[in-house]
Structures are given as C-alpha cells and as structure tokens.
Amino acid sequence: MEKKAVLTGVHFMSGDVACAEGAIAAGCRFFAGYPITPATEIAEHMAVRMPKVGGIYIQMEDEIASIAAVIGASYAGLKAMTATSGPGFSLMQENIGLAVMTEAPCVIVDVMRGGPSTGQPTLPGQQDVMQAKWGSHGDYEIIALAPSSVQEMFDLTVEAFNLAEMYRVPTLLMADEVVAHMWERVVIPPVEEIKVVNRKKPNVPPGKYLPFGPDDDLVPPMACFGEGYRFHATGLTHDEYGYPRTQDSDVQMRLVKRLCDKIRRNADKIIRVEEVLLDDADVVVIAYGIVARAALSAVRKAREKGIKAGLLRLITLWPFPDKHVAEAAERAKAMVVPEMNCGQMVREVERAAKITPVYHLPKLGEEPHTPMEIFQAIRRYS
C-alpha cells in the first residue's frame, strides 16, 4: 500500500471523513454510493480520495445499484464499500442478502437518522439497529459495529473491513448522525501499525477448487474473477461447487446452517464491548453509539454520588454480546438501556439478562440523551 494512502498523523476531522479514511487505511479501493443525508460526506470524501490512491469511485443511479456494484467489485478482488442512511439501507436489503448468500466481503455504512420513512434526515436516531440483523429476508447472521466517537469511526471501519474479509460476510457500520457529523481529534497510526486482514485465497489449482467448500473455520477460501478458477456463484441455494440445488433439502440445511454457524461459532472472536466500572456495579447501563458517551458521563456522576453504576458499551451490536450482558446481569440489580428508538436492542438485553430487571430509556428527536437524563434513570433504579 502506498504510504500516501494512509494519512498518518493527528487530525481534527468529522466522523464521516474519519470513516472514509479508515476504509482507505484498511485497503478499500472501490466505493459506489448514492447521496443521502447524513452519509453524503463519506461519498464526497471518497470521490476526492479514491482516484488519488488508485481506487475507483462511482456514484451509481440508486442505492440498490450501489450495493450491487460493491458486491461485483468484491468478487473482482477489491475491498469495496458503500455508505447510506435509513431509506437507502432499506433499499439495499435484498442485495445484502445476496452478499450473505454468496459470501462477498464488503462494508456497508448506515449513518442512522430519524425514521421511519423519510423521517428526520438531519437528526440522529438509532432506529435501524434491529434492521441490521433482520433486514433481509431469510435466515442469516451478520456483523454490525457501533462507533461512539470519531476515532472509532476510523478504527471500527478498519475493523469492519477485517471482519468482512475474515468471515466473507457483509459487515455493517451502524453509525448515527451525531457521530458522523461531529468533529473530534483522530489519531491515524503509521501504516505498519494498522492491522489489515485479507481474504483467504485458494491453495489448490482450478480443477480442485470448491468455491463454497469451507475450511475448519467454516469460511471458504475465495477465488476472484480473472484468476483462472472459472467458478459459478449464485443467490440460489447452492452446493459446494456453487451450482444451484434448489430442490435439495439437505443442501439447503447445510448451507444455511453453515452461513449462520460461521458467525455464531466465531462470535467470541468477533464480539467486542467496553466495560467501565462494571465489576461491582448494581446498576448497569448498556448503551451504544453516541448515547454511550452521555451514559459514561452519567455513570461517573452516579459514582460520585455513591451509586454503584457501571457501563457496558456495545461495540459489536451483532452478533449480540449475550455472554457479556448475562454476566453483568448476574451481578447487577438493574439494567438501564438508553436508546434513540422505541425499544430495539433492549429486547436483546432482556433476553440475555433473564430475570434481572431491564429498564428502557427511549428518546427520539434531535438530541441524544443528556448525561443528566441517564443519571436520573440510574438513580431511580438503584
């Protein structure tokens, strides 16, 4: 990778720009997108930077075309990305399913805004987090990350690319309008210090290659177009050769189960959380995205006031950090889940927390929760 691709140094930049720079640092060399508030700046920054680093930028005619082109570029061998918001994310669902089914590594950024429908284009929301897991039809598992800072917009984009390549799965970056538009200090490390993972390539000759024959980690090595493997890939249920086998129940069971197990069985390696003051916490706040910033303030304030509060920040939304939530729930008296929606991740928390009481703190509209609002909830339930 050319040195000038990675802007090593200390910067003051917005989340959208940091995300684009993270992608470039991870090796992304294809971006196809469509303008949509509040993700447009990612596309605009990519339009400037991609040609400079020898990558491709194209503005497609709609979001469906964008994600289709991203999958095509991925299959042609490039690390590829698109960025959108709620309405575009909805449009992309069918092809996200195609990426899952054909195991195409790619990154999709959803900068969440007020929904549903056209909603509040310029204001934040966290209303798409369930859609991240269940948005496309059929049974599947997917990886979704939630950045809480501009630094994480850079770091988690790099991680998203690495996860996508490692597990041959579309990886989602579920940002929100605040994290995307705010400006903060970002440290971009030197190239050598940025961990970049590339997809496994086949180590057998063309005659012996099974495009969907998995290794022990349940991930098949990936040949790309033009490498002489002459393989077939389809969104139809297929066997290890990639050939459609739509009438075969065994093939369907094996394939769908493997696509799910690929993520489930590797969940421990994928999931990341941040735990603050959790060991002796009576009241655990579980938050993600911009809300986690206010939650951290609230937890610290509560400790000052003598309340044993702790924060479990979800960095990985999917696969859901069941074990971390369950462990924290066992020691806690109550869990508080502030979200900018009417109750989405709280359902997962309730499921994992089992009998520990879980309290939802919804907030919709222009502002994320204030630290005071979360502190008052902590106090109420402590």
Partner 1 sequence: MTEVVKHPLAKYLRAAMMPHIWCPGCGNGIILNAFARALDELPLDLDKLVVVSGIGCIGRAAGYINVDSFHTTHGRPIAFATGVKLAKPDLEVVVISGDGDLFAIGGNHFIHAARRNIGIKVICANNFNYGMTGGQVGPTTPLEALTTTTPYGNIEHPFNLVHLAAASGATYVARWTTFHVRMLTMSIKKMLQRKGFSFIEVLSQCPEIYGRHNNMRTGLEIMEWFRRASVIANFSDPARAEITRDRIVVGEFVEMEKPTYEQLLHAKMAQIAEGEGA
Phi, psi (5° rounding) for residue 308? Answer: -85, 85
Q: Which range in 212-220, 229-237, 264-272, 291-299 contacts partner 1 by CB under 8 A?
A: 229-237
Q: Which range in 96-104, 280-288, 325-333, 365-373 contacts partner 1 by CB under 8 A?
A: 96-104
In angstroms, rounded to a whole number, what is the distance separating the alpha carbons of residues 352 and 325?
Answer: 6
Taking alpha carbons only, the member of 84, 91, 291, 55 closest to residue 172 is: 84
Q: Which range in 146-154, 227-235, 283-291, 350-358 contacts partner 1 by CB under 8 A?
A: 227-235
> 321-324 long-range CB contacts below 8 Å, 24 or more apart?
321/271, 321/273, 321/352, 322/348, 322/351, 322/352, 323/268, 323/271, 323/352, 324/271, 324/273, 324/275
Binding residue for partner 1 (CB under 8 A) from 189, 213, 221, 235?
235
- Our CB check for partner 1 shows the closer of 62 and 330 to be 62
Question: How far apart are CB 130 and partner 1 at their closest, in Å?
Answer: 23
Site size for partner 1 (CB under 8 A): 46
Residue 138 is given by DSSP the state S
- Does 221 bind partner 1 (CB under 8 A)? Our answer is no
Alpha-carbon distance values, 35 to 30, 58, 82, 127, 153 (Å): 16, 11, 11, 20, 19
Sign of the CA dihedral with 52 first, then 14, 58, and 97 last:
positive
- Does 225 bind partner 1 (CB under 8 A)? Our answer is yes
Residue 223 is given by DSSP the state -
Interface mask toward partner 1 for 39-68; x: CB under 8 A = ------------xx-x-x-x-xxx-xxx-x
Q: Which range in 238-246, 268-276, 318-326, 369-377 contacts partner 1 by CB under 8 A?
A: 238-246
Q: Kindly list the residues in this chain that would bind partner 1 in the complex (CB under 8 A).
A: 4, 30, 32, 51-52, 54, 56, 58, 60-62, 64-66, 68-78, 80, 94-95, 97-98, 102, 225-236, 241, 243-244
